[in-house]
A and B are shown apart, each in its own frame.
Chain A
């Protein structure tokens, strides 16, 4: 039953939030809500570790045989933990004045609820509902709060999302109609449809062109949600739906998908090198990282898959850290253009230290969370073909290059003489400190997390997934 609570609670508090108008009040409510939600999720994780499987099933539309059926295994709970932590960071890091803060937080919480539902659902009907439900708040968040080109960006985003949704819907309908027993050719078709849906969501090259603008134009809290959690929806779709309902498609096409994902890795890394905007660098670096995670999900090795799942958490943590740092800089200096930044290290050694640790995490430096995941993922790719590992491994070099370029442009050098003071607030210090410690902690003691997400359980396919 706690699962229902986890899913419903954010929706309920979102509704309350829409009626709040004051800046402080709505933030306080959002904070309270994300912390209660966090508690609920961690409590479910505890229950899961005791019981091994959590589920709840309630008849819903009897005539159609549709049930409200939720059930979680390790990697799904891992995603739910992300969906609890990332919004918490998003709320804590919000300090600037926004128009209609109540609605903003409401949408944020609504998105959290939709994500919880998506990650916890145990049948395709709910999967589709929550997949769609997550698009709505993100669209309005893009539309209402952000940079100068936010409307155009939001429309691009929603068009891409709709295209993905229709592909997903078509695939799901096909699976529905064939009663779960999909023929070989059917599986190929379904695989392609699902692939389009997840490739847009992740995103993979060449379906990524909504992403850089979205990162650049959105409010930082929305960017955190998009980069940290929404992108993982696609990966979860691969694990939860694609590999389960079109396994033969995966068998036949995994080489091609890995190839495309490696193009994403190299393309994203190369373009991250020449970006002039902080958030665009992060966007392209995410393209590269997500490509590696997607590729290794198709490696068919437990090491690769487990590494990828572990990395989903690491990436969320690191990217949230980067965006938060960007936000802190933006709040103080009013710009995120690399040409206008520099010299911040002498203003705030602490911020610079955190930035460096987050960068190390995201370039897969040993003893940070990124290394464990990347090594396992590269191992998975190596098992498929050594060449895949070499090509994907190039991102280690390119990653170091563009991240150090970013660090240099923002932190090093003399900097502007009228650079403001960087007095970090306590919530910023604590939040960034937690991120820094987690990055190193997960890198030194990854085993508990790896055990938690162990993929042995996702092979027990859930027969009730189809009606």
Chain B
């Protein structure tokens, strides 16, 4: 049962991908989309069944990948509560986003390839969480990177989107290199990357080696989960169609880093220095994302930076050992962030592609359904009881309190900021005066509303999920409510009523820093990419020419040697061949006679 169920979980999306790819030309467009939805649903049911029926964890060997010298790699599936839970979440939330995309993408000519990539993405994500070795995980790890490349750049005709996709792929690869380095270390020490070996033998290593290994893993997690300093791809990645943002940048791919750290917590627990860095980077990212989200005008960018900030929460939680809290928040975040992205998709869809929240406003009446679900999502993300976000955020804050007061305070401040920017987003979009001009906003089709409704329910009650919770701070409840009311009130006061589209943007230094995302992209461009490319161009123009000049010198000398022969011959370059042949013959004859 378990064997069959797990293989089916993996096989469904893969078969879906191949069917849609191979039959893409023949299938009528909606059929391809439905096929994709069915395959993910199949995977969801299989994974769910195994989750409900299986009590114990197990490893299912599939086949040997390669075995050379002391190094060996096997494909096998790890079945335990963590991997099963992740699979159910991926296929569940992913499936809902699939269904939503049916409506969102229905007019796109390349609908079938879109769904093929979607299915492939789910497959690689499942490989990532179901593998029982780091090498197997790496397959999924790079695989989701590839799919995100394809999906972010889905509208590749637009130059900027293609650039964004490339950026995501390359930035991710920097992280992947760190991950691969950790894998090489594991192979060097144990000849395998199976979890069962690594986690048992891992603590036997010296602290230095373990620190290096976990640093490699951390770099990988930082790249995939868009933490400082490798986050710059995530905001740009909003170039993809909105369901892509929901699938990749909210519910699944970006959480892989958190999963990686949680999965290898044994190694991290033996490397305090790395754990400290995890906390530091996580907290810094949480602050950074929240600050930047305060002033963004693009509805998806606000959500993107909010994702970054929330991921920072999870990463730091994983860093100070609150693995279950981190995973819990990951789950609830998957619900409400997918909900928010898809609802934002409804808004964008309804306004024919408008993404600037200063050109929205008053949509509460035109898009009542979207408004309600967006409100639920907002309340969930800001941690308003009794919505799911309250419980998961609370679990993290409780552990942070126990770990360090400083971290706790910073995370609380981030929480306040996040409630402010979310309410700002809500009010600018749905309240106040209508600023979208002549457009006629309309609700999406039923296939777009049903997934939203389900996600709204999950975002509401997700906090009651039977997930091991550490503790809930009861006093926090009151404080939270007060803070929420305050930040919501302030946001309403500023953004809830009349907003002038053409209002001059504040010109203060601080605002410009935030608006330009602290100039990180520009700094990378100036300090790393620019000089590097200049160096390459310089080498290409000058050093290569220099080497070419050497050729000329050597050519001259050969010509000079060949001069007597040239007189005899007709002067073409065959002379050199002749010189060569004669030379060889002379040498050989001289040698043997």
Chain A contacts to B: CB under 8 angstroms:
64, 132, 135-136, 139, 143, 151, 154-156, 158-160, 162-163, 165-166, 169, 173, 176, 206, 208-210, 212, 267, 270-271, 273-275, 301-303, 306-307, 343, 345-346, 349, 360, 365-367, 372, 375-376, 378-379, 382-383, 386, 389-390, 393-394, 396-397, 400-401, 404-405, 408, 411-414, 444, 446-447, 450
Which residue of A307, A366, A376 contacts B138 across the interface (Cβ within 8 Å)? A366
A210, B69: Cα distance in complex, Å: 37
Contact B584 A303 (CB under 8 A): no
Q: Is B539 an interface residue (CB 8 A)?
A: yes
Using Cβ atoms and an 8 Å threshold, which residues of chain B touch A450?
66-68
Contact A158 B69 (CB under 8 A): no
Known contacts A169-B584, A267-B539, A367-B139; decide if A412 and B551 are in contact (CB<8 Å): no
A301, B66: Cα distance in complex, Å: 16
| Total residues of chain B contacting the partner, CB 8 A | 61
A208, B184: Cα distance in complex, Å: 30
Shortest distance between the CB of A74 and any CB in chain B (Å) = 13
Known contacts A173-B591, A275-B540, A393-B180; decide if A162 and B558 are in contact (CB<8 Å): yes
Using Cβ atoms and an 8 Å threshold, which residues of chain B touch A151?
573
Q: Which chain A residue lies CB-closest to B547?
A: A209
Q: Is B187 an interface residue (CB 8 A)?
A: yes
- Flag B569-580 by CB within 8 Å of A: 1 or 0 each: 000010011001
A212, B554: Cα distance in complex, Å: 18
A160, B548: Cα distance in complex, Å: 12
Contact A413 B71 (CB under 8 A): no
Known contacts A382-B184, A393-B177, A404-B166; decide if A209 and B548 are in contact (CB<8 Å): yes
Shortest distance between the CB of B115 and any CB in chain A (Å) = 15
Using Cβ atoms and an 8 Å threshold, which residues of chain A touch B532?
270
Which residue of A169, A345, A365 contacts B156 across the interface (Cβ within 8 Å)? A345
Stretch at the interface among B157-165, B240-248, B408-416: B157-165
Residues 544 to 579 of chain B near chain A (Cβ within 8 Å): 544, 547-548, 550-551, 554-555, 558, 573, 576-577
Q: Which chain A residue lies CB-closest to B587?
A: A169
Shortest distance between the CB of A140 and any CB in chain B (Å) = 8
- Flag B159-177 by CB within 8 Å of A: 1 or 0 each: 1001100100110011011
Known contacts A173-B587, A394-B177; decide if A206 and B547 are in contact (CB<8 Å): yes
Using Cβ atoms and an 8 Å threshold, which residues of chain B touch A379?
71, 184, 187-188
Residues 135 to 191 of chain B near chain A (Cβ within 8 Å): 135, 138-139, 142-143, 146, 149, 153, 156-157, 159, 162-163, 166, 169-170, 173-174, 176-177, 180-181, 183-185, 187-188
A267, B547: Cα distance in complex, Å: 14
A424, B554: Cα distance in complex, Å: 44
Q: Which chain A residue lies CB-closest to B590?
A: A173
Give 10 new A-B contacts, CB below 8 A, not counting A139-B577, A307-B68. Answer: A166-B583, A169-B584, A270-B536, A343-B157, A367-B139, A386-B185, A400-B173, A401-B166, A401-B173, A446-B65
Q: Which chain A residue lies CB-closest to B67?
A: A447
A396, B170: Cα distance in complex, Å: 9
Which residue of A160, A378, A397 contacts B184 across the interface (Cβ within 8 Å)? A378
Q: Is B535 an interface residue (CB 8 A)?
A: yes
Contact B584 A132 (CB under 8 A): yes
Chain B contacts to A: CB under 8 angstroms:
64-71, 113, 135, 138-139, 142-143, 146, 149, 153, 156-157, 159, 162-163, 166, 169-170, 173-174, 176-177, 180-181, 183-185, 187-188, 212, 532-533, 535-537, 539-540, 544, 547-548, 550-551, 554-555, 558, 573, 576-577, 580, 583-584, 587, 591-592
Using Cβ atoms and an 8 Å threshold, which residues of chain B touch A136?
577
Using Cβ atoms and an 8 Å threshold, which residues of chain A touch B169?
400, 404
Q: Which chain A residue lies CB-closest to B171?
A: A397
A314, B548: Cα distance in complex, Å: 30
Using Cβ atoms and an 8 Å threshold, which residues of chain B touch A165?
580, 584
Contact B554 A159 (CB under 8 A): yes
Which residue of B65, B170, B592 contacts A400 across the interface (Cβ within 8 Å)? B170
Using Cβ atoms and an 8 Å threshold, which residues of chain B touch A206?
547
Using Cβ atoms and an 8 Å threshold, which residues of chain B touch A396?
173, 176-177, 180
Q: Which chain B residue lies CB-closest to A390?
A: B181
Which residue of B185, B536, B551 contacts A273 across the interface (Cβ within 8 Å)? B536
Which residue of A156, A162, A303 contacts B70 across the interface (Cβ within 8 Å)? A303
Using Cβ atoms and an 8 Å threshold, which residues of chain A touch B547?
206, 208-209
Using Cβ atoms and an 8 Å threshold, which residues of chain A touch B184?
375, 378-379, 382, 386, 389
Which residue of B159, B535, B550 contacts A209 across the interface (Cβ within 8 Å)? B550
Contact B536 A159 (CB under 8 A): no
B156, B535, B537 — most chain A CB neighbours (10 Å): B156
Contact B576 A158 (CB under 8 A): yes
Using Cβ atoms and an 8 Å threshold, which residues of chain B touch A275?
540
A372, B67: Cα distance in complex, Å: 10
A274, B542: Cα distance in complex, Å: 13
Known contacts A64-B592, A155-B573, A360-B146; decide if A375 and B162 are in contact (CB<8 Å): no
Contact A303 B71 (CB under 8 A): yes
Q: Which chain A residue lies CB-closest to B534?
A: A274
Using Cβ atoms and an 8 Å threshold, which residues of chain B touch A412?
153, 156-157, 159, 162
Q: Which 7 A-B pairs have the closest CB atoms?
A: A209-B547, A412-B156, A366-B139, A302-B69, A412-B162, A303-B69, A270-B536
Q: Which chain B residue lies CB-closest to A154?
A: B573
A143, B576: Cα distance in complex, Å: 12
Using Cβ atoms and an 8 Å threshold, which residues of chain A touch B540?
271, 274-275
Known contacts A176-B591, A379-B71, A382-B188; decide if A413 and B576 are in contact (CB<8 Å): no
Using Cβ atoms and an 8 Å threshold, which residues of chain A touch B187?
379
B68, B138, B143, B555 — most chain A CB neighbours (10 Å): B68
